[in-house]
Structure 1
Amino acid sequence: MCFFFNVKKNALFLFFFYFFFFNISLFSQEFEQEILEEYLEQEDEEDPVSKYFDELESYIENPLNLKKASIEQLSKLPEFSVNLSGKILHLVKKQNFNSIDEIADTLQLSLKQVRILKLFTTIEKVDKKKGKLYYRARNRINFKETKGFESDKFQGSPLYLYQRLSAEKNEYKIGFLTKKNPGEKSLNEFYSGYFSAEFENIELLLGDYTLRQGLGNILWSNYRNSKSSNVVSSALQYRNGFSPYRSSTDYKFFRGAALLYKLNVTEQSRFNISLSYSNIDRSATVDAALGIASSVYTAGYYRTDTEIQKKASLPETCFNGSLQFESKNFSLGASILNVNYKYSVESNAKNAFFGKDGNLSTLYSMFHLDNASFAFELSKDARNNLGAKAASILKIENLDLAFHYRNFSAEYRSPFGTIFGETYAPNNEEGLYSGAKWFVNQQFTLSSYIDIWRTHKETSTLPVPQKGIELFSEMDYFFDQDLEFIARFAYKNKTEQKTVQKEKKLFQKGIFIFRMELKYQIDKLTRIRLRNENRLINYEAVKGNETGVLLFCDIQRKFFSNFNAYARLSLHLTDSYDSAIWQYESDPLGYALSQALYGKGLRAYGGFKYEIFDFLALSAKFIAVKKANVEKLGSGLNETTGSSNQQLFIQLDMKF
């Protein structure tokens, strides 16, 4: 531990500066970043931009109006199942409830659910809106040059620039986004835009969009709904429709036009008829002479000659048509997606289409009552391989239960589909998930799940079928509204292979995770959070066990009514990358990162948000990383020399 004390002086100064500098009595506030972080956190998935974050953030800018929201819209929020969403909307629309607190008292919502409702929703009369305009610009500065620049592999400048402009008035919305990564040539290396209009029976969207239908077997957004502490509502996510694409990730979205027509049959039933067209050039490794694409490129970086050659090299055309009958408690839909490429895709990736063209089709349905919901989806890919999901959520007094079964053949390919399971794509997996959440009282919640799964055939990394089991349990207790304690235990076991003395050995890898966390609202201005996480990796007799430990403390402080600051210091010690502990970060607002911390070192950051005027806010975040016993950080072209690195984020937000 002496290493930590030698290198953390400056970080500790930065950390405690925020805590002691002022002591002013102002108003309390909900820390939206912390709430978002808790539900966006994903294990073992390093992603510089959270796609789900973009969607939830739109609810912060424009809170969901419960007077006109649908069950599908409200159930997007963490902790809100389709059952609970239906009850809330019934109270608001049919019984004229006008406050979140009144809803919370009637339905006995937990403190956490009340916080989320107050952050993401509102209850207002449905009338004409004033026009709104939003602009965001974000710059990231790396203080050390990476290997890509040192070796002149990168063709562009070190500038990172993200820009987003959106506007809305009444039924109309418009948005445009550009992004340039360090090493890329153009300021709009990635760009995206949309125009949408929503009337009583017709919705129209031109530009970039995502399609989500049923449980997501053939069509979903590029955010994978994964296992988390949101053990119940995440198991049944059911959608039918399209949404503007707001992310800066260069894959799994459509570019063209989408139309939805709502044909009312009775006061409580209707048909939804949806048509969409997309024409976009995907990035891929293409051999034009042979007429094949050997892989589809989804990393989204265009810095080197090799990466630039892949950009927009695979023309893709898609048509989609869907028909859904919808009543108060029941929906049944069918959809067909036609996919056509200029070159035949012959990739082994499980999330890539195989072939030149074909039709994917699906049938889906959901039935829900006050205390029970059931849904299923049965799908066929372009080569007649089958995939299926079935899910249910039940409420028995203070106990919520969730079940989710999935089964996709080893050959099933769905380039725009998703899976609630172990892997990242609906392919070669069968599993059964069971989750439970017990609301002991408003302050005390117990959550758990078990997921048992297997693959039908060998995988890309194993010569035999893989099997696994995952157990999760969490206790969340509020001593009062200011003090919260969370304890978590998780266990994962799955088949893996390791080379020992030039011999490949199969074994069942076991991962034990234990976490304790304390959140304390010290006063109306200051909130502190402490976390300890420990890991034990068991390799059976193949090699010795590995361990990992993480300690972090972060603090948020409101100095003035328009100035918030935050800081975090993380200390980590793991035997290798295999025992890395993942830390989720989501500052500044709109940027999310799941960071793997491994080896011996620290990660510290501090930042602020300053609302200069009602229409203008400035945010900044400084990150410092220090590791022991290493001569470089990162890998590949992102590698930097030395044992430390620093980054600075600067963000400007304007709204009118």
Structure 2
Amino acid sequence: MKKISFILLIFIPSFLRAQEQDPQKMAIIEQRIELIAEALGNENPDFTTLIDELSFYYDHPINLNRTSREELQEIMLLSEVQITALLLHIEKNGKLISIYELQAIPGFDLQTIRNILPFVRVSDMFDAPHIDLHTLLKDGTQEWFVRASQVLEEQQGFTPISDSALAASPNSRYQGTPYRLYTRYRYRFGNSISFGITGDKDAGENFFSGAQKQGFDFYSAHLFVKNIGNVKAAVVGDYQVSFGQGLTFATGLALGKNAYTLNVKRNSQTLRPYTATGENQFMRGAAITYKIKQTEITALYSRDHLDGNRILNSDTTVSGDDEYISSLQTSGLHTTPAEIEDRNAVLVQHMGGHFAWKTKRSNIGFTGIYSTLNPGLQKTTSITNQFDFNGDHNLVTGIDYNYIKNNFNFFGEMSRSLNGGWAMQHGLLASLDPKFSVSVVYRNYQKNYQSLFANALAEASKPVNEKGLYIGLELRPNPNWTINAYFDTFESEWLRSGATGPQRGMEYLAQLQWKPSKTMDMYIRARHRSKPYDDPNDPEEINVLLDKEQNNYRYQFNCKINDQISVRNRIEMMNVGFFERDKQRGYLIYQDLIWKPEKLPITFTGRYAIFDTDSYDARIYAYENDVLYFFSIPSYYYRGTRFYGIIRYQYKKRFDVWLRYGQWLYNNQNTIGSGLSEIQGNRKSEIRIQLRLRF
């Protein structure tokens, strides 16, 4: 009871009025999230910040007559080519008279207009509010979330064990409880002020016991203000930062290669509050962006403890310090004594900033970030990681640029780390015709370039040891048809894990979409990837590299049958394997149903899927709907079925309840998972409940 009382007292309800909520709001936002999620190959992406932005702009649509490039970039629904075309149209022809005038702008077909329509408007009014205490209390919005979830089948880490056996093998069981718990409070006044607190506990972690006497394993908080006088943005607490193309220093979400072939330029707000639950990809401290005419100066400081494998130094030839970190841990899990011991093992500090000079059509920026680690990082050297960062400090500097000339947008960034390693990226977006646009990105990242927080376009997970050329195109022959395609070639001069030799690979994608009406669309997509890997059957110590090829083929059909029922169907097939060898194959078929009864305050979303793959290598990823602010793109592999159902109930537009139940059923497996998460049997079920109060 004390735990429940603590949760209820964390955030005291306020007297601010509730905001009206369109029942179709989340359906529209989820559609946009799904479009973006398809671009990511991550099973657990976090779109919290993006949902916050889309939700805000749904309630407060962007006034296209008084908007900026940065504001349009925040909704991530327009390419840079389209944003440029819109701003040039307004500059040449004056303010928009009607939203329907968008049809006259090159690159704005009916599909694009439908996508952005819920988030934009046309008005001559100036919308800057007068901020005083009365206005803050009257017009601010507040939300409080509580969410709990649990796998219903018993996992190995939660099975009974004797005290003597546990003492002999303390890491053989989880320390905490099997449920996951999350809570979040956020106050927001327009786009000017944000304050929030988040708490999160993973399954297997303690809660008010053991190693976590303070309740949640992870806490996050922020206070963020925007556009107050010359202060463009300022934040205290947890925040995300992004400069240039993310090559020198950037945190947060960035799209890589995807079916939206023109969205290769990184466009994100320099500073934004952090509202997600990931425990690594954010800054903790303070930052400010100050604007004077055409100049913007950003200064930041961050001080945070990260998880790491701490080693006591018994060999002075390895490091001169008493202890060092052999690796940084990024899972955010603290479920066993070993994981708890690694918690907050290293103090990481960042200080520096960014100087930018901006005009309507160009900008140039300079970035400098100095980072320290205490204790320092000293990885066990191997042939593949000998150029990775080791030490207790680093300095990364960079220069970024952006230039627009008519329908051409040139952009790029060049960076250098303290050890002399460098990296560069140069790109072009061009609208060659109202129906045809292209994107080109050249990248060259040296093998010894080192940045603790870099997030730029790359084939690998980090922009290092890679050279490549990306070419994308988008063709809209008529309002109902869209063709997207890209080709990417890449090479690495040094060895990578799984490939003990220089490598050269390629990837291409083609997609044809047909949307005959606003209630129906379908597309077909093909993707091919070829990358060299060590021959797993070569007995020699020096492996022979073979091209491992992967092919994915997808057909998707979406239809809104009426105002109450919508359906989605997908068929996807794939094969993967080494050239001229037997390939592993798989397929996935699913049917989605979305039902919104006209006279009931509920919404139902469900899926039934069947899948069959020869192995884990032939896995297929698919986005799944879930409760608000929870995200998953799980992999379907082996043979079985999958279903889930979500019911959302809304009471008087102030109170929402989500209930989700999902289950995996495997036909050819006797166990699921491995290690402490292993389940005996062929069934895995999970239940999740979430509550939201709006004030």
TM-score normalised per structure 2: 0.85
- Distance, in Å, in 2 between the alignment partners of 1:475 and 1:252 is 35
State the partner residue of 2:636.
597
Q: Are the structure 2 counterparts of residues 395 and 293 from structure 1 closer, same or farther at C-alpha, using a change threshold of 3 Å?
A: same
The SS at the match of 2:622 is: strand
Determine if contact 2:29/2:54 at 8 Å carries over to the other structure.
no
- Distance, in Å, in 2 between the alignment partners of 1:62 and 1:218 is 34
- Distance, in Å, in 2 between the alignment partners of 1:413 and 1:48 is 24
Residue 272 of structure 1, CA deviation: 0.2
The SS at the match of 2:478 is: coil
The SS at the match of 2:81 is: helix
Given candidates 136, 141, 144, the residue that maps to 2:150 is: 141
Deviation string, structure 1 residues 570-618 (Cα, Å, up to 9, x no partner): 1111100011111111321211111111111111111122211211111
Q: Are the structure 2 counterparts of residues 122 and 185 from structure 1 closer, same or farther at C-alpha, using a change threshold of 3 Å?
A: farther
State the partner residue of 2:222.
194
The SS at the match of 2:252 is: coil
Residue 341 of structure 1, CA deviation: 1.2
State the partner residue of 1:484.
521
The runs of 5 or more residues in structure 2 that have no matched partner are 1-22, 130-134, 162-171, 208-214, 314-321
Question: Superposed, which structure 2 residues align to 1:258-407 within 5 Å?
Answer: 258-264=287-293, 270-289=294-313, 290-347=322-379, 353-397=389-433, 398-407=435-444
Query: 1:557 aligned to 2:554?
Result: no
Question: Superposed, which structure 2 residues align to 1:28-427 within 5 Å?
Answer: 31-42=28-39, 44-47=41-44, 49-50=46-47, 53-54=50-51, 56-59=53-56, 62-63=59-60, 65-67=62-64, 68-89=66-87, 95-97=94-96, 99-107=98-106, 109-123=108-122, 125=125, 126-128=127-129, 130-150=139-159, 153-169=173-189, 171-186=192-207, 187-198=215-226, 199-202=228-231, 203-233=233-263, 235-239=264-268, 241-264=270-293, 270-289=294-313, 290-347=322-379, 353-397=389-433, 398-427=435-464
State the partner residue of 1:512.
551
State the partner residue of 1:428.
465
Residue 120 of structure 1, CA deviation: 3.6
The range that moved more, 217-226 or 329-338, is 217-226
Query: 1:444 aligned to 2:481?
Result: yes
State the partner residue of 2:7.
none
Query: 1:644 aligned to 2:644?
Result: no
- Distance, in Å, in 1 between the alignment partners of 2:68 and 2:312 is 47
The SS at the match of 1:74 is: helix
Determine if contact 1:627/1:644 at 8 Å carries over to the other structure.
yes
Amino acid in the other structure paired with 2:145: R
Residue 346 of structure 1, CA deviation: 2.0
Residue 87 of structure 1, CA deviation: 3.5
Residue 252 of structure 1, CA deviation: 2.1
Determine if contact 1:432/1:453 at 8 Å carries over to the other structure.
yes
Determine if contact 2:618/2:637 at 8 Å carries over to the other structure.
yes
Q: Are the structure 2 counterparts of residues 120 and 650 from structure 1 closer, same or farther at C-alpha, using a change threshold of 3 Å?
A: farther
State the partner residue of 1:12.
none
Amino acid in the other structure paired with 1:153: R
Residue 358 of structure 1, CA deviation: 2.3
User: Which protein has the bigger strand share?
Assistant: 1
State the partner residue of 2:210.
none
- Distance, in Å, in 2 between the alignment partners of 1:654 and 1:105 is 42
- Distance, in Å, in 2 between the alignment partners of 1:240 and 1:488 is 31
Residue 462 of structure 1, CA deviation: 1.6
Residue 527 of structure 1, CA deviation: 0.9
Q: Are the structure 2 counterparts of residues 294 and 209 from structure 1 closer, same or farther at C-alpha, using a change threshold of 3 Å?
A: same
Aligned alpha-carbon RMSD (Å): 2.4
TM-score normalised per structure 1: 0.90
- Distance, in Å, in 2 between the alignment partners of 1:506 and 1:43 is 27
Determine if contact 1:296/1:352 at 8 Å carries over to the other structure.
no
Deviation string, structure 1 residues 360-413 (Cα, Å, up to 9, x no partner): 100011001341111111100121200101111000121110011111111112
- Distance, in Å, in 2 between the alignment partners of 1:469 and 1:614 is 50
- Distance, in Å, in 1 between the alignment partners of 2:230 and 2:388 is 35
- Distance, in Å, in 1 between the alignment partners of 2:386 and 2:43 is 19
Determine if contact 2:74/2:268 at 8 Å carries over to the other structure.
no
Determine if contact 1:108/1:442 at 8 Å carries over to the other structure.
no
Q: Are the structure 2 counterparts of residues 64 and 404 from structure 1 closer, same or farther at C-alpha, using a change threshold of 3 Å?
A: farther
- Distance, in Å, in 1 between the alignment partners of 2:465 and 2:142 is 45
- Distance, in Å, in 2 between the alignment partners of 1:28 and 1:593 is 20
Determine if contact 1:43/1:582 at 8 Å carries over to the other structure.
no
Higher relative contact order, structure no. (Cα contacts within 8 Å, ≥ 6 residues apart): 1
Question: Superposed, which structure 2 residues align to 1:610-629 within 5 Å?
Answer: 610-629=649-668
The range that moved more, 176-185 or 240-249, is 240-249
State the partner residue of 2:582.
544
Determine if contact 1:177/1:191 at 8 Å carries over to the other structure.
yes
Determine if contact 1:362/1:377 at 8 Å carries over to the other structure.
yes
- Distance, in Å, in 2 between the alignment partners of 1:30 and 1:120 is 14
The SS at the match of 1:281 is: strand
Determine if contact 2:641/2:665 at 8 Å carries over to the other structure.
yes
Determine if contact 1:493/1:511 at 8 Å carries over to the other structure.
yes
- How many residues align structurally? 624
Deviation string, structure 1 residues 163-186 (Cα, Å, up to 9, x no partner): 111112253211111100111113
The SS at the match of 2:179 is: coil
Q: Are the structure 2 counterparts of residues 98 and 641 from structure 1 closer, same or farther at C-alpha, using a change threshold of 3 Å?
A: farther
- Distance, in Å, in 2 between the alignment partners of 1:616 and 1:607 is 17
The runs of 5 or more residues in structure 1 that have no matched partner are 1-25, 265-269
Residue 52 of structure 1, CA deviation: 6.1
The SS at the match of 1:303 is: coil
Deviation string, structure 1 residues 220-266 (Cα, Å, up to 9, x no partner): 22324211111102x112456211111110112111110111001xx
Q: Are the structure 2 counterparts of residues 140 and 112 from structure 1 closer, same or farther at C-alpha, using a change threshold of 3 Å?
A: farther
The range that moved more, 167-176 or 334-343, is 167-176
State the partner residue of 2:11.
none
State the partner residue of 1:267.
none
Amino acid in the other structure paired with 1:514: Y
Q: Are the structure 2 counterparts of residues 495 and 531 from structure 1 closer, same or farther at C-alpha, using a change threshold of 3 Å?
A: same
Determine if contact 1:40/1:52 at 8 Å carries over to the other structure.
no
Amino acid in the other structure paired with 2:83: S
- Distance, in Å, in 1 between the alignment partners of 2:515 and 2:128 is 38
The range that moved more, 468-477 or 157-166, is 157-166
The range that moved more, 628-637 or 495-504, is 495-504
State the partner residue of 1:13.
none
- Distance, in Å, in 2 between the alignment partners of 1:239 and 1:483 is 31
The SS at the match of 2:243 is: strand
- Distance, in Å, in 2 between the alignment partners of 1:388 and 1:332 is 15
- Distance, in Å, in 2 between the alignment partners of 1:475 and 1:312 is 48
Amino acid in the other structure paired with 1:118: L
- Distance, in Å, in 2 between the alignment partners of 1:607 and 1:334 is 47
Amino acid in the other structure paired with 1:141: Q
- Distance, in Å, in 1 between the alignment partners of 2:158 and 2:612 is 30
Determine if contact 1:351/1:414 at 8 Å carries over to the other structure.
no
